Amino acid sequence: MVIAIVVVLFGLLLPAVQMAREAAARSQCRNNLKQIGLALHMHHDTYQFFPSAGTNGVTVPNTVSSSPAIGPYQQCSWLYQTLPFLEQQAVWNNPQIAPSALIKTYFCSSRRGPMVLRGGPHAGNAANDYSGSAWKAPIQTFFQPSPNVVRFAQISDGSSNTLAVGEKNLCLAILGSGLDLNDDDGYTGGADDDTVSFLTVKDANGNVIYQPALDLRGSCTSGTGGFGSSHPGHFNALFADGSIHGINYSVSLLTFNAVCGINDGISIGDVDNLQ
């Protein structure tokens, strides 16, 4: 009888514990994005522009006169360029150790703790859980490939209406393996890993094959990209004004495209999808 009561109590307690853990992890994730937002603003205050997206296929930061290149001249990602403003000056100063340096702020604990990639072409590089909103013609977005950079004055839609950074969609079944094309370079990996395309992608029959998605266990399509998270119902996103919102997976693609553009003149409208 006593054992049965203990089993019942444990069954009642476990969901509550899991909910409390997820609430704490979600709060920490939002705090990570808040810190990233402050760092991006400090970068703009210092250089009068936000970091570039870097270029594709680069994982080792390039230097100019033995110092890390800045902004338009840096081929590595915005995440690397932001390091000095996250109290990671020593890592930023050493391009040889930067790719493998674990930056706790770049990981959401709902998904994983700090880790390096176990396999793939860049095994040993430190992974990351956040991506910037990528360019996609004809709509201009917060991050642009080097040598292009974005300034506050260019965000004519308003910084409070513009998504800058969000959690990126990853396949949990192969997390950290280097097999997921959205998780195979590391946080210094330039525009291919650290920014994601956001516009609707359709197949030959006109069916939508990409939209914001929850991370999946089991059968995953490698390299699908996009934003997503391990939080139930939504992913967290940093807007250009530094505010943090949860964006529901049910967000309309029209609304989502509107918040990703910096100067498209489209009204967000569907605010019920923002938390």
Burial class (CB in 10 A: 0-12, 13-18, 19+), 202: exposed
Q: Which residues of 59-91 are buried (b: 16+ CB within 10 A; e: fewer)?
A: bebeeeeeebbbbeebbbbbbbbbbbbbebeeb
pLDDT band, very low/low/confident/very high, at 230 (cuts 50, 70, 90) = confident
Does residue 207 or residue 118 have the better pLDDT?
118
Residue range of the domain that includes 69: 2-273
DSSP 227: B
Read off the tokens for 238: 């940093």
For the chain, percent of residues with pLDDT exceeding 90: 40
- At 182 the pLDDT is 83
Domain count, the chain: 1
- At 270 the pLDDT is 43
- At 134 the pLDDT is 77
Does residue 244 or residue 7 have the better pLDDT?
244
Task: Determine contact, residues 206/155, Cβ cutoff 8 Å.
Answer: no
For the chain, percent of residues with pLDDT exceeding 70: 75
Over 80: is that where the pLDDT of 101 sits? yes
Does residue 103 or residue 23 have the better pLDDT?
103
- At 8 the pLDDT is 52
Does residue 213 or residue 246 have the better pLDDT?
246
- At 168 the pLDDT is 86
Lowest mean pLDDT among 35-39, 67-71, 239-243, 270-274: 270-274
Read off the tokens for 99: 């790719």
- At 207 the pLDDT is 56
Query: How many Å apart are CA 150 and CA 262, to the nearest integer?
Result: 9
- At 271 the pLDDT is 41
- 202: helix, strand or coil: strand
Average pLDDT over residues 198-221: 56
pLDDT in tens, 25-84: 888 999 999 999 999 999 999 999 999 999 887 888 998 888 899 989 999 999 999 999
Query: How many Å apart are CA 166 and CA 169, to the nearest integer?
Result: 9
Query: How many Å apart are CA 110 and CA 62, to the nearest integer?
Result: 33
